[in-house]
Amino acid sequence: MSFLEGIKVISLEQAVAAPACSMRLVQAGAEVVKIERPEGDFARGYDTAVAGKSSYFVWLNAGKKSAVLDLRRSDQVALLSRLIVQSDVLIQNLKPGALAKLGLELDALHAEHPRLISMSISGFAEDGPGHHRKAYDLLMQAESGLSAITGSHHAAGRVGVSLVDIATGQFAYEAILGALIQRGQNERGAKLSVSLFDAVAQWLAVPYLLDRYGGAAPKRVGLAHPGICPYGVFTAQCGQDFVLSVQNEREWGRLCEIGIARADLLDDERCADNQTRVANRDFVDDAVRDAVARLAYTEVQERFEQADLAFAPVNNISKLKSHSDFHTVPVTVGETTVELPRVPGAPWLPDSLNRVPELGAHTQEILARVPKS
């Protein structure tokens, strides 16, 4: 039995952050009813890569139920209100103020249903001056400073996935779980909120601390670590790129003695400790680079494994599907079965629930729960 079985969630969600939160609730066994406008969540149209469906939508919405309501109509808003008070959790990431304009004030909903747990997701925190602003993942990567420490020496970059949205969804999920535990103790719900900016700021704690108290933010160093050396990409004789990580002085010693056969580096004052190596990164990286460039990747593997060093090949996404440690679960998309990456640490739902919902597929089922007035 999944630990959230019996928990009912209504989610007025679109795009990524809120669906990422409710996706985790589905995976824990909750019933999530995704309320969509007549034209559907616009994430349905991001691409057509997966059996004609959007890759984002397939990933974030397997196992949910889709109900269409036209919230421009007062009778449909009334139906939504009654669905909410029958539920345990309400999630929404509508434009700030949109819910109140519909006549669905959160305070009033909580007064009518004291056990309700609501989660509002926005770009900026409700108590801040930017709360009214629209916000999307890449905008927050830029405004938070994340993009300033991501990329190469020559240009800032975007993290290759919607990291801010995913972080926000995870924080929202954790907050809801905490509120459900607390409700089990005091029988009271909770009014919760998470912002994209707060989520990415929390994940930027180390660069923030380095900048505020250490005097300098990390530099953009491409596929390398700004504060550890050697820790970056190197190339074997055959052209195979790999990342090497040396985390402490024991590993540095083993790298020099066994990995690259350069024991002389142990006596070089430019390599005395990690901070010194970082200050002399070009010298250290060149020494490692020159040594491994004479070795086939198989020999690199043999030496580094003998030295008990951490390293990994630089692969492309196409190689993920054939990786020996990659596991998938089946999901039904229309008439096709596709494979999604397995959820770590959580049992997947039964196959009968692992379906990506068509727009409005469950509208009649969900509306039948509303008592006729």
What pLDDT is recorded for position 353?
A: 55
Residues 35 and 140 placed together within one structural domain of the fold: yes
Residues 32 and 94 placed together within one structural domain of the fold: yes
What pLDDT is recorded for position 118?
A: 97
Residue 214 belongs to some domain of the structure: no
CATH of the domain at 239: 3.30.1540.10
User: pLDDT tens string for the chain (373 positions)?
Assistant: 578 889 999 999 999 999 999 999 998 889 999 999 999 999 999 999 999 999 999 999 999 999 999 999 999 999 999 999 999 999 999 988 899 999 999 999 999 999 999 999 999 998 889 888 989 999 999 999 999 999 988 899 999 999 999 999 999 999 999 999 999 999 999 999 999 999 999 999 999 999 999 998 888 889 999 999 999 999 999 999 999 999 999 999 999 999 999 999 999 999 999 999 999 999 999 999 999 999 999 999 999 999 999 999 999 999 999 999 998 888 999 999 999 998 887 655 554 457 899 999 999 999 998 887 6
Residues 335 and 290 placed together within one structural domain of the fold: no
What pLDDT is recorded for position 70?
A: 95
Residues 143 and 44 placed together within one structural domain of the fold: yes
CATH of the domain at 353: 3.40.50.10540
Residue 41 belongs to some domain of the structure: yes
Domain that holds residue 283: 231-313
What pLDDT is recorded for position 96?
A: 87
What pLDDT is recorded for position 174?
A: 97
Residues 107 and 197 placed together within one structural domain of the fold: yes
Rounded-to-integer distance, Cα 63 and Cα 356, Å: 6
Residues 119 and 194 placed together within one structural domain of the fold: yes
Q: How many domains does the chain have?
A: 2
What pLDDT is recorded for position 352?
A: 44
Residues 153 and 292 placed together within one structural domain of the fold: no
What pLDDT is recorded for position 350?
A: 55
Residue 217 belongs to some domain of the structure: no
Q: Do 63 and 27 contact (CB within 8 A), yes or no?
A: yes
Residues 20 and 119 placed together within one structural domain of the fold: yes
Residue 372 belongs to some domain of the structure: no
Residues 164 and 111 placed together within one structural domain of the fold: yes
Residues 260 and 139 placed together within one structural domain of the fold: no
Residues 12 and 95 placed together within one structural domain of the fold: yes
